[in-house]
Structure 1
Amino acid sequence: MGRERITGGLEAELAKHTGIEIHGANLRIVFMWRRIRCRESLGLPVTKANIKHAAQLRAAILHEIKVGTFEYGRHFPNSKHAGNYSSARDERLEALAERYKPLKAVDITPMTEEKYAYAIDICVELVGKDRLAGILLPEDIHLLRARLIETRAPSTANHYLATFAGFLNWCESNKYCVAGLAAACTRFAMSEKEPDPLTHEEFDLVVTKGCLHPQDVAATTLAVYTGLRPGELCALAVEDIDLEAGKIEVTRAITADGTFKLPKTGKPRTVLLMKPAIEACRTLIAIVSKHPKRDIRVYHNRHEWRDESVTPLLSPSTQARKKVINEWFVSTAWNTKWAGIQRRAGIRPRRPYQTRHTYACWCLTARGNLAFIAKQMGHKDFTMLVEVYAKWMDDESPTELSRIWDGIKTAQSQANRYRSSPG
């Protein structure tokens, strides 16, 4: 029975109710769910009573969708769409984020948890706290990317996207949203920034003009001649140094909020010291010789840590005039100090991390062994050295060729002497 065959009374009743249609000989309801227009046949003949029943059912469905309790398969268990449409549950994005954060926290340190939580909160705010996860589309994530990059550096935006992608992966695996959202969190391409190491002349200006205290001279010298990351340098303790063996055990790093964690690679490493670094350590140890040990906790993750009692090698209290001062440098304090040192030295300002690049570049231009340098710096292998410092390696190509040729000639000469020797 088509529309042309229904009576005037049925036509008038049908006109009263939005979203009720005739499909073949039966009634069908139409509604929007998760941005999809859904049409479902009820298998009911077209009568006034059935039209009213269909209208009431549609109103109930719309209410359930509004309050987030609608289950497609419960209303339409035999529908071919039930499996597809019911693969995601109606949950608000903010509520899911609050559920996810403590679950993620069990695998990370408190400092990392704080950074993750902040990134997730920013992304949820931009997407919409009250949005239902089940109706999100890749388009929404593309819009998020656009909003993030409007006011943030690519590196910051990429951190937010990576963190949010982890959250969306969790949502997808638990059927809170459709698949493909996490994959839409593509990172922004970043231009490769070449290292900007100190020249030997600039380093001389830093230690002679920029540094006002022996501690600063020694700390800067140690940074340049070891390649330690700023967080590793600031977390050093007197107990980490073996002057007789000429080495430092790097077992911790300090975060921006003053908590301690494992080094970036998650593993301790031994750094062998050049003579300037040994003398710098000797100076720093002497400066803090009367300082008391401090009890600290080094986090491996949220549930694992170790407690230590150590003497800070670099302490703000050494030069401080205030009575209450931190016993350890953190990144913000060290950044401020390094900026002042460079300003007084009259050199181009650089980030503190460039002292690490300085160590690598100086070692490479001195034709140091790649595997040794990589191990000193805490790299897994020397792949990163080749990628990041290729320019400094290329600069030495002509002299390196001469050195290799000299080595080959020496080996050939020794072989010839061996062959010509009697017996």
Structure 2
Amino acid sequence: MKKPCTKAQCAIGFTFLWLTGEFVMASIGVRNNKLVVDFRHFDVRCREQTELEDNPTNRRKLEKLIKTIEGDMRLDCFVYRDYFPGSAKAKQFARHDDEASKRKAECFSHYQPSVAKTDHVLFQSFADEWYEENAVRWKNSYQQTISFILKSYLKPEFGTVPMNLITKADILKFRARLGKEKDDGKKLSADFVNHVMTPLRMILAEAADRHGFRTPFENIKPLRVDKTDVEPFSLEEVKLIIDEVREDFKPYFTVRFFTGMRTSESDGLKWKYVDFDRRIILVRETNVNGFMETTKTLGSYREIQMSSLVYEALKLQQHISGKRSEFVFCTSKGTPLDHRNVRDRIWKPLLERLGLTYRRPYQTRHTAATLWLAAGEAPEWIARQMGHSTTKMLFEIYSRFVPNLTRQDGSAMERLLNENQI
């Protein structure tokens, strides 16, 4: 049985191989504007194409990777499949990889484990491991979001870079490119860029904790996100929309305008959560991109009181879908509504036909809140109907629509002074 090499033997072997020049330096090529690593391994020419576009930043990243590869080669510890797991060449070197893995374990057992590990743990490998470990605690919709961000943004940028070689400068330059306007004039919002950066921060923090290096994602604050004004409909506009919308969608939009339910909540509403006797709607599940999930927050798990208008709309809807589906609002096949389909085929054409400025269907929720406030309903009651834990958000978002309620016009004090003849 071959004895493990000692620390001294590893160092001697490293020096000998370096002086004898057994290793041919790898080079960087370009194919279809994507960078290619070109090197020889066991006298076989290997060209591995990456997903990195040809630019100075990506070339620097690839140079870091090449240095790591050459370091492993000099110690005869280069494991091909670790660097290029999806490559057809990896199968060709399977036997060599098995032997190299053993040698690497033997050699690096004499060194600090964290140093040995981080030199060859690539971002894409660690990111996949991190995703698998955490996906179990995420909702399906969030799993889809993280998977999309990893595939579309993070892996193409950092995939082939060892975790400990990603720098703060790399992160900031990546974020700056995300925020730049594209050739077609479109630009990612600051909010979306922040969403992309969140899993990157989490992955780097976890890798740093496991492998003993300092995370480069320090003191990087999120981009400033401008506050978006709500654009509720007036009561006259609501009446016009409900009068003119398709008959089979009148109950749907009546419920949305006068309950403040989110899109996912109304689209996921089931008949078992509609209590006609007590005239309440139980918000217990949501439909997010076709997946039935729990509510957005604990506060969203609530009971909404039906007005007479909502009660009649749901009674009418019961005759339409009550026997063919467990969902209150559904397709002719009994499946839940697709919010994109409703938006593009019902909502947009209707607003255009009525000459109303386009607003997202989500504005129906804001409309309910402003109508309740304007009617003089208690803010605490409105907050419960909306699923807010306090009235703070209610006043921050909607107070400008009802100045008399928030006492911003001084009328309440005037009445008090007059009534008391002060």
Q: What TM-score, normalized to structure 2?
A: 0.68
Alignment of 1:104-119 (within 5 A): 104-119=134-149
Q: Deviations over 1:143-180 (max 9, x none)?
A: 2211222342222222111122222222122127x323
Letter in 2 for 1:332: R
Q: Deviations over 1:223-244 (max 9, x none)?
A: 1111000110111122211223
Equivalent residues of 1:249, 1:270 under 8 A apart? yes
Displacement of 1:401: 4.8
Letter in 2 for 1:160: V
Equivalent residues of 1:361, 1:389 under 8 A apart? yes
Aligned counterparts of 2:294 and 2:399: Cα–Cα separation in 1: 29
Displacement of 1:397: 4.7
Q: Match for 1:292 among 324, 327, 330?
A: 324
Alignment of 1:339-378 (within 5 A): 339-378=348-387
Where 1:182 maps in the other structure, the secondary structure is coil
Aligned counterparts of 1:108 and 1:84: Cα–Cα separation in 2: 29
Aligned counterparts of 2:260 and 2:363: Cα–Cα separation in 1: 9
2:228 paired residue number: 193
Letter in 2 for 1:238: W
Q: Deviations over 1:328-368 (max 9, x none)?
A: 11221232222223223221110011000111111222332
2:74 paired residue number: 60
Verify: 1:332 aligned to 2:346, yes or no. Answer: no
Aligned counterparts of 1:278 and 1:59: Cα–Cα separation in 2: 74
Letter in 2 for 1:153: S
Instruction: Decide which moves more: 135-144 or 239-248.
Output: 239-248
The 1:326/1:239 distance shift into structure 2, 3 A limit, reads: closer
The 1:351/1:221 distance shift into structure 2, 3 A limit, reads: same
Aligned counterparts of 1:136 and 1:92: Cα–Cα separation in 2: 10
Equivalent residues of 1:284, 1:313 under 8 A apart? yes
Where 2:304 maps in the other structure, the secondary structure is strand
> Structure 2 stretches of 5 or more lacking a match?
1-18, 22-62, 65-70, 84-100, 181-186
Equivalent residues of 2:330, 2:336 under 8 A apart? yes
Aligned counterparts of 2:159 and 2:219: Cα–Cα separation in 1: 19
Q: Deviations over 1:368-404 (max 9, x none)?
A: 2222111111112122112222322436456875457
Aligned counterparts of 2:347 and 2:383: Cα–Cα separation in 1: 25
Verify: 1:217 aligned to 2:250, yes or no. Answer: yes
1:262 paired residue number: 294
The percent identity for this pair of structures is 18
Where 2:176 maps in the other structure, the secondary structure is helix
Aligned counterparts of 2:218 and 2:120: Cα–Cα separation in 1: 21
Alignment of 1:109-188 (within 5 A): 109-150=139-180, 151-175=187-211, 178-183=213-218, 186-188=221-223
Aligned counterparts of 1:316 and 1:111: Cα–Cα separation in 2: 22
Aligned counterparts of 1:251 and 1:404: Cα–Cα separation in 2: 42
The 1:253/1:278 distance shift into structure 2, 3 A limit, reads: same
1:383 paired residue number: 392
* Greater relative CO, 1 or 2 (CA 8 Å, sep 6+): 1
Letter in 1 for 2:190: P
C-alpha root-mean-square deviation of aligned residues, in Å?
A: 3.6
1:322 paired residue number: none
Aligned residues between the structures: 332
> Structure 1 stretches of 5 or more lacking a match?
1-15, 19-33, 36-56, 294-310, 318-324, 414-423
Displacement of 1:286: 2.2
2:130 paired residue number: 100
